[in-house]
Structure 1
Amino acid sequence: MSDHLGSGASPHQPTPYPEVNALVHELLIALHAILGAQVQGVYLVGSLALGDFRPQNSDLDLIMVTVGTLSDEAVTLLRDLHRRFDQGGSPWATHVDAVYIPHEVLREPSPPADHYPILEWPGLLALGPLESGWAIQRYILREYGIVVSGPNSRSLLDPVHPDDLRQGSATIVERWRDQAHHDPEWLAWLSEPDNHTFVVLTLCRVLYTLETGAVASKPAAARWAQQKVPSRWRKLIGRAATSQLTTGDVLDDEVTDTLSFLEYTYEHYRQWQMPSTNRPT
């Protein structure tokens, strides 16, 4: 895919953003001071790797691959480290999401249901379960991960099965659909311009993954969806892709269109779940 940075970027300047590079290298030095040889590799994933990074509002998503499980003492020191970074001068310091994962767990398509050190901005580093879409993170790491330190990301794990990606990507659709039917607060959340754009573009990415068994950046998935979905949603997708939904109020008709687009995506997921002999042609 042409708009991702790829794992071939220079580890010395892993991104086109000097302030991001300075932050991740400062973080790397601090990690080695705490973990030493337990640091096997540090990788940028998320929007930076996939090519839809927006300096004004994107987070920095990091996967820290470790040798073995970290001790309680190490987790405490890392929590303090990230707290200090939050109070530092970098504009990116408070926008870091990270997971510390042992290499042997990373290699597992179905990792054990344990708790791992996870930082989700704006919270503190804490032990928690891996996200339901972990297969997607594994795929992005392997195929597009940007090396800050360590071996090429493709050497860390085997290819991710397309059906694992389909299942992982659709989990959020099931949750959103349930919230749309039962949670008025979620509908109010959806009416916020930034959230509305996020939902529309995420649904495009889910449809792309269900169809292709791969993962695309949000702009690439939106371009693909505009050619594939029925015409009633193309204007909605086009506005989201150009960030027009993030300015001004979200109209009731736009919310209605997005909810119907959510149902359309959910039905595609249900069709994928059917045995192939029962799927509509």
Structure 2
Amino acid sequence: MDTRIPECIRPILADYLLSLRTELPDLIDACYIHGSIALGAFNPHLSDIDFITILTRRATAQEVENLKAVHQELELIYPQWKLEGSYLQWEDLGRSQQEIAPYPYYHDRVLRSAGYHDVNLVTWWVLKHRGISIIGLPSQMLAFAVDWNLLQIKMKENLNSYWVSWTRSPSKVAYLLTDSGIQWAVLGVVRLFYTLREHDITSKTEAGRYALVHLPAKWHQLIQEAINLREIRHGSSYRSKVSRAVEAVRFLRYVINVCNEQAS
């Protein structure tokens, strides 16, 4: 197995592939790992095992049931790991959600027979440039390309809609009172900062470390706090979660403004 796959999750991936080959030998053509593992940032406490499995054709109803059985068995054997992924065909790769017919996908420990899951330009970019082949051609040889300019446009739209809502929505601002809210929002927005500045995609933790170098020192306490939370380091440098949340809102507004200024 590829050396980039962490040792601790190799058994579940090996059993996953064995089960697919046993239960659906004529249906599986390739399998790729993307997400945090492909970016070299797998966190055993937080990370999913993100996969895209390529089917030779559309799965029948019985084959979908077989896929459900495969995942149910893996859940019993490996309850500590969380698989997340889609069952696509070759012609689906690189396309927008609107261009793809509904497909089976596995999310939150449930196999859905048809729908859409985590198909976007970032997914395709990571798959193409960092993806790990478990079965099939190296990901760099896959027959699709990602339009970086379009990806940046979509990221800016996300910045000025989803991330702006974190500074305005009462429920999202309230979520910033939690540790998970802080690490999600602070590292999420600096990941966009990194991408728009460096024309590359990295993990949340690495984006946080990048921000410590490239953003003013006044924000370093908050950024380091988010990194520590992401890496499950106990203890906070803040006396109050309220003051931390207030600072997080200010930080989000600041980074959004910086990103918009450098994009203009």
**TM-score over 0.5 (shorter chain):** yes
- Say whether residues 1:112 and 2:102 are aligned partners: no
Q: Match of 2:59, SS? A: coil
Number of residue-to-residue matches in the alignment: 259
* Preserved CA contact (<8 Å) 1:222 1:237: yes
Matching residue within 48, 71, 86 for 2:75: 86
Partners of 1:268 and 1:97 lie apart in 2 by 33
> Superposition pairs for residues 2-17 of structure 1, below 5 Å?
10-11=1-2, 15-17=5-7
> Superposition pairs for residues 78-227 of structure 1, below 5 Å?
78-89=67-78, 91-92=80-81, 95-108=82-95, 112=99, 114-131=101-118, 134-170=120-156, 172-173=158-159, 174-178=161-165, 180-182=167-169, 184-227=170-213
* Preserved CA contact (<8 Å) 2:175 2:181: yes
Matching residue within 259, 263, 267 for 2:249: 259
Deviation at 1:135, TM superposition (A): 0.9
Q: Match of 1:98, SS? A: strand
Partners of 1:76 and 1:160 lie apart in 2 by 33
> Larger deviation: 225-234 or 243-252?
243-252
Aligned to 2:41: 52
Partners of 1:126 and 1:262 lie apart in 2 by 38
- Say whether residues 1:24 and 2:13 are aligned partners: yes
Aligned to 1:4: none
Q: 1:168 and 1:30, CA in 2 relative to 1: closer, same or farther beyond 3 A?
A: farther
Q: 1:224 and 1:179, CA in 2 relative to 1: closer, same or farther beyond 3 A?
A: closer
Give the CA RMSD over aligned residues: 2.7
Deviations 1:136-159 (A, max 9, x none): 111111111122111101111434
Deviation at 1:32, TM superposition (A): 2.2
- Say whether residues 1:67 and 2:56 are aligned partners: yes
Partners of 2:173 and 2:185 lie apart in 1 by 12
* Preserved CA contact (<8 Å) 1:25 1:148: no
Deviation at 1:116, TM superposition (A): 2.1
Partners of 1:161 and 1:193 lie apart in 2 by 35
Q: Match of 2:77, SS? A: coil
Identity of aligned residues (%): 22
Q: 1:202 and 1:22, CA in 2 relative to 1: closer, same or farther beyond 3 A?
A: same
Partners of 2:262 and 2:114 lie apart in 1 by 34
* Preserved CA contact (<8 Å) 1:196 1:245: no
Which sections of structure 2, spanning at least 5 residues, go unmatched?
none
> Under a length normalisation based on structure 1, what TM-score does the superposition of the two structures give?
0.80
Which sections of structure 1, spanning at least 5 residues, go unmatched?
1-9, 274-278
Aligned to 1:237: 223
> Under a length normalisation based on structure 2, what TM-score does the superposition of the two structures give?
0.84
